[in-house]
Amino acid sequence: LNSALTVEELELLAKRAALAHTVTSKKNLLNWPLKRVNENYGFILSLYKDLNDDIHQKRAVTPAAEWVLDNFYVIEEQAKSLRKDLTKKDYFNLPIIKKGPFKGTTRALAIAMEFVAIVDGQIDEGTLNKYLDAYQSHNVLFDREIRIIPMMLRIALLENVRMICENIKETQKQWNRADAIADKWWSDEVVDTEKIVALFKSTLENMDEANPSFIEHLFYRFRRSGRSYVNVLRHIDEHLVQFGTTTEDTAQKEHNAQAVSTVSMGNDIMSFKYVSSLNWAQLFESLSYVERILRQDPDGVYSKMDIVSRGYYLGQIEKLAKTYGVSERHIAQAAIDLAKSAADLNENSPSVSNYQLRRSHVGFYLVGEGIKNLEETQRGKVKLTHKVSHRMNKLQGRIYIGVIVLITLLCIGVVLDYGLNQVDSFKWLYGLFICAAIFIPASEVAISLVNWSIGKIKRPAFFARLELKEGIPDDLRTMVVVPTLLSNESRVVELLKNIENHYLANKEANLYFALIGGFKDSKGPNTLIDHPILKLANEGIDALNERYALDGTNIFYFYHRKNVFNEIDQSWTGWERKRGALMEFNDLLLGSKDTSFIYHENNHLIHAQIKYIITLDADTVLPLGMAKKMIGTMAHPLNLPVIDEGRKVVVEGHGLMQPRISFDMDSSNKSIFSRIYTGQEGMDPYASAISDVY
């Protein structure tokens, strides 16, 4: 906090600003701040070059100028960052000040400008928090305004630096004038007082007042010369009387001004660095009134979600508020009230199902199926465009098929019209031939065009996620499994190395890793549990546990299935191959003994305690920390599966989730085929024939 202000004074200034700021949603497209940012940066850059020239010519520069010379890279980084980060879409979506000195400016920028001026560029989190809290006690900010405050502060700091640089430029100009007189005096072997006074007077004639920078620097040079300048001082003091000052008073005034400029420039530069390093997400959560409401989520899930998921909820609230023409706080409170009502019903239930858990979470009414319940609380406020959009979402399947059919028929019609104009007889037969020939190509064109358009227009579905900040809890124990064929001993060594890498990238308590092996197809059963390959795999798993399982609980496990006779292929294979391995492993975890597993090392693991299974291909890489993210996603209430007991199907949430799969560079370059089909971003091998729209 500025030493000149107390906390009470700071809060009073914030409240006065809040009362003075009346806003409108009307956009002012002419007041684009990046134009001023570029002007400010251009001026500072020009001064920086001039100061470098002064240094090369061995001219003195002010202490504030030294800050610019030493930290120009910081200013340059901030200007570049603002150009990249600030978008017109975000800025012109902010409320505008209707009157006063900041008329036409966004409220967020006005707040930043006033705050930077009050604290003289010395920003710290506590002071900013107090100021904005006091401001919101009289004028609540939108979440989008709070989110953009960091950029507005950087714009305000750059404006402050520009103002100080203007003073530096004027000071350097006056110092150069003083240097010219001092150099002239220094070059004369005999001190000519009258000549020096005449030069001094001619300089003053071009000024409205005695410039402190000029006078202070001139006498600084005189003092450093080693010559007697008493007579010069006496004559010059006589001429300063007309300006109502003396050399001593003028010098003191200049020293004070230089001290203020130096401190202010130092504050601005240090605040640039501070603002860039500050945890704005944490500050936002402490300032957002909507965030405070959502943290009343009755099941407590909202506070446990990661920052991306919470941000998605806030963005959805902003959209709904615009749709219904109400405040964001109103939407948030309505959703919380619905969640609390559902939670009250759950309290009277002997057991709470996933169906009930979903409905006691605030997100169910913001991004889930419960949004229709939220809409019912806003009757009469829904805009016509939203009603149309909502109706189209309900019919999106029919619209999707209809548009494809329409484009297909259009393509066929164009080709048919052209083809029939080329013949004079048997047109009906020729027409049938054209339709049959062009139907598949036309439909492929239509599907590709519609899918591409939808991919550009419609955003992908978002899955909320728990952060699991304290790690994976006991009730979410997870097993990462790699079902594969054990063809030879070198393959076993490779697989063990891969599992170790998965663990090293995802070291978490309650996360286990298993290799589910099977032999290749054979002409006869192979049930030898003392097979060399099994022995090597088991020894490898034991070695990994000895190396990493320090608390006595095994982390790594090995399971192996016997081959069974396949009547269709007339060979001995693993039952249902990879799919069967996963199904049987799931049965094994549930306590079934009727499986084809002939070997499993599970002495230190209670299978009933495993909640989730993450399945990886043998060549799939599990990225750093990704296992916990996947578990956090699956464990979120909105993603919990709700099963229709009659049909035995998941009707809400998800029983299975498959993330996007991409190939690493090594895999992508193994063959010409992989180079063609993987591309730079990779391709999901299980969905290569299915559009992302599906």
CATH number, domain containing residue 537: 3.90.550
Band the pLDDT of 338: cuts 50, 70, 90: very high
In the structure, what pLDDT confidence band is assigned to residue 264 with cuts at 50, 70 and 90? very high
Give ∠ CA 582-587-591 in degrees, rounded to 5: 145
Helix (H) or strand (E) holding 196: helix 193-204
- Matching residue, tokens 């090369």: 56
Q: CA 692: distance to chain centroid?
A: 23
Residue 534, in any domain of the structure: yes
Helix (H) or strand (E) holding 595: none
Cα(514)–Cα(604) distance, integer angstroms: 13
The pLDDT score that the predictor gives to residue 684 is: 43
Cα 359 to Cα 295, 299, 374, 636: the distances in Å are 16, 10, 12, 12
Question: pLDDT tens digit string along 171-190?
Answer: 898 888 877 777 776 666 44
In this prediction, residue 438 carries a pLDDT of 87
CB 519 within 8 A of CB 537: no
- Domain final position from 233, 257, 277: 277
Mean pLDDT confidence for 542-559: 88
pLDDT value at 631 more than 60: yes
Co-location of 175 and 165 in the same domain? no
More confident residue, 149 or 28: 149
| The pLDDT value given to residue 687 | 38
HSE (side-chain half, CA atoms, 13 Å) at 365? 26
182 and 55 within one domain: no
Q: What is the pLDDT of residue 31?
A: 84
Q: How much is the pLDDT for 202?
A: 64
pLDDT above 90 as % of the chain: 40
User: Is the same domain home to 198 and 223?
Assistant: yes
- Residue 408 in any domain: the answer is no
In this structure, are residues 318 and 144 in contact, taking their beta carbons and an 8 Å threshold? yes
Would you say residue 679 has pLDDT above 60? no
Q: Are 627 and 668 within one domain? A: no
Q: What is the DSSP string of 13-72?
A: HHHHHHHH--EE----TT--HHHHHHHHHHHHHHHHHHHHHHHHTT----HHHHHHHHHH
Asked if residue 118 and residue 44 are part of one domain, the reply reads: yes
Please report the pLDDT score of residue 689 as a whole number: 38
Angle in degrees, CA 329, 332, 338, rounded to 5: 140
Is position 123 within any domain?
yes
Crossing angle of helices 143-187/307-324, nearest 10°? 110
Say if residue 160's pLDDT is above 60: yes
Provide the pLDDT confidence category of residue 680 given band limits of 50, 70 and 90.
very low
Q: Tell me the three state secondary structure of residue 104.
A: coil
Residues 587 and 684 in one domain: no
Q: Which of 597, 619, 635 is the last residue of a domain?
A: 635
Indicate if 74 and 17 belong to the same structural domain. Answer: yes
Task: Decide if 501 is inside a domain.
Answer: yes
Q: Is the pLDDT confidence value at 193 over 60?
A: no
- Does 691 lie in the same domain as 629? no
The residue among 94, 78, 79, 83 whose CA lies nearest residue 29 is 94
pLDDT average, residue stretch 228-245 = 66
Domain boundary pick from 227, 243, 277: 277
- Residue 574 domain flag: yes
The percent of residues in the chain predicted with pLDDT above 70, rounded, is: 82
One domain for residues 165 and 176? no
- Tell me what the pLDDT averaged over the chain comes to: 83
CA distances from 648 to 208, 286, 334, 414, 645 (A): 91, 45, 34, 48, 5
Range of weakest confidence among 283-287, 404-408, 420-424, 479-483: 420-424
The pLDDT confidence band at residue 682, using thresholds 50, 70 and 90, is very low
Residues 25 and 163 in one domain: yes
155 and 186 both lie in a single domain: no
What average pLDDT does the segment 392-416 reach?
Answer: 85
Across 134-148, 328-342, 350-364, least confident range: 350-364
Mean pLDDT of 598-608: 61
- Which pLDDT belongs to residue 5? 79
pLDDT digits (tens, 9 = 90+) for 467-509: 999 999 999 999 999 998 888 889 999 999 999 999 999 999 8
Length of the chain: 694
Task: State the total domains in the chain.
Answer: 4
| In a domain? residue 191 | yes
Would 377 be classed as within a structural domain?
no
Domain for residue 687, yes or no?
yes
Do 24 and 84 reside in the same domain of the chain? yes
Rg (CA), the chain: 37
In terms of Cβ atoms closer than 10 Å to its own Cβ (0-12, 13-18, 19+), residue 636 is buried
Convert the pLDDT of each residue in 287-327 to its tens digit.
999 999 999 999 899 999 999 999 999 999 998 988 888 88
Least confident range from 194-198, 258-262, 414-418: namely 194-198
Please write the tens of the pLDDT for every residue from 11-63.
999 999 999 999 887 777 778 999 999 999 999 999 999 999 999 988 888 99
Distance between first and last Cα of the chain: 56
**pLDDT of 618 over the 80 cut:** yes
Write b or e for each residue in 336-363: b if 16 or more Cβ atoms lie within 10 A of its Cβ, otherwise e. bebbeebbeebeeeeeeebebbbbbbbb
Beta strands 597-600 and 556-561: pairing type? antiparallel
- Per the CB < 8 A criterion, the answer to whether 522 and 562 are in contact is no
Closest CA to 588 of 558, 633, 549, 627: 558
Range of the domain at 51: 7-170
As a whole number of angstroms, the distance between CA 159 and CA 335 comes to 42
pTM, to two decimals: 0.78
Give the residue, 688 or 69, on which the prediction is more confident: 69
How far apart CA 602 and CA 123 sit, in angstroms, is: 58
Beta carbons of 479 and 607 less than 8 angstroms apart: no
Query: Which of 76-80, 123-127, 248-252 bottoms out in mean pLDDT, i.e. has the lowest?
Result: 248-252
Q: What span, in angstroms and rounded, lies between the C-alpha atoms of 298 and 342?
A: 9
